[in-house]
Amino acid sequence: MINPGTRDSWIGVLGGGQLGRMLCLEARRMGYKVLQWTGGDVSGAAYLADLVLEAPFEAAAALDRFVHRVRVATVEFENIPGDLLEEIGRTLPVRPGAGAVTTCQNREREKTFLAAHGIPCADFHVVSSCQELEAGLQAIGGAAMLKTAEFGYDGKGQRVISGETPAEDLPALWADFGAGRAVLEEKVDLKAELSVLVARGPEGQVVTYDPAENQHCNQILDISIVPARLPDGVLSEAREIAVSIAEAFEYVGVLAVEFFLAGDGRLLVNELAPRPHNSGHHTLDACATSQFEQQLRAVSGLPLGDTTLLAPAVMWNLLGDLWIDEATPPDWSPVLGTPGAKLHLYGKTQARPGRKMGHVTFLGATREEALERASACRRAFGLPPVE
Ligand X SMILES: Nc1ncnc2c1ncn2[C@@H]1O[C@H](COP(=O)(O)OP(=O)(O)O)[C@@H](O)[C@H]1O
Q: By C-beta, is 16 or 152 nearer to ligand X?
A: 152
The residue count for binding ligand X (CB under 6 A) is 16
Q: By C-beta, is 130 or 262 nearer to ligand X?
A: 262
Q: By C-beta, is 195 or 289 nearer to ligand X?
A: 195
User: What minimum distance in Å lies between the beta carbon of 33 and ligand X?
Assistant: 32
Are the beta carbons of 183 and 161 closer than 8 angstroms? no
Q: Can you say whether the dihedral through the CA atoms of 52, 86, 92, 72 is positive or negative?
A: positive
Q: Which of 123, 154, 247, 321 binds ligand X (CB under 6 A)?
A: 154
CB closest to ligand X, residue no: 188
Residues 6+ apart with CB under 8 A from 106: 149, 150
**Binding segment (CB under 6 A) for ligand X, from list 41-49, 97-105, 186-194, 313-321:** 186-194
Q: Integer distance in angstroms from the first to the last C-alpha of the chain? A: 45
Q: Which of 50, 51, 89, 153 binds ligand X (CB under 6 A)?
A: 153
Q: By C-beta, is 185 or 213 nearer to ligand X?
A: 185
User: What minimum distance in Å lies between the beta carbon of 164 and ligand X?
Assistant: 17
User: What minimum distance in Å lies between the beta carbon of 297 and ligand X?
Assistant: 26
Q: Interaction with ligand X in 253-272: which residues (CB under 6 A)? A: 258, 270-271
For position 222 contacting ligand X by CB under 6 A, the verdict is no
For position 285 contacting ligand X by CB under 6 A, the verdict is no
User: What minimum distance in Å lies between the beta carbon of 268 and ligand X?
Assistant: 8
For position 159 contacting ligand X by CB under 6 A, the verdict is no
User: What minimum distance in Å lies between the beta carbon of 189 and ligand X?
Assistant: 8
User: What minimum distance in Å lies between the beta carbon of 305 and ligand X?
Assistant: 27
Q: By C-beta, is 141 or 337 nearer to ligand X?
A: 141
What's the Cα-to-Cα distance from 316 to each of 215, 295, 335, 374, rounded to whole Å?
A: 10, 22, 11, 7
Q: How many CA atoms lie within 13 A of 127 on its CB side?
A: 29
User: What minimum distance in Å lies between the beta carbon of 124 and ligand X?
Assistant: 8
Name the residue type at position 340: G
**Binding segment (CB under 6 A) for ligand X, from list 2-10, 109-117, 150-158, 307-315:** 150-158
**Binding segment (CB under 6 A) for ligand X, from list 11-19, 34-42, 183-191, 225-233:** 183-191
Q: Binding mask 187-206 vs ligand X (x if CB under 6 A, - otherwise)?
A: xx-x--x-------------
Q: By C-beta, is 128 or 215 nearer to ligand X?
A: 215
Q: Tell me which residues touch ligand X (CB under 6 A).
A: 122, 145, 152-155, 185, 187-188, 190, 193, 216, 219, 258, 270-271
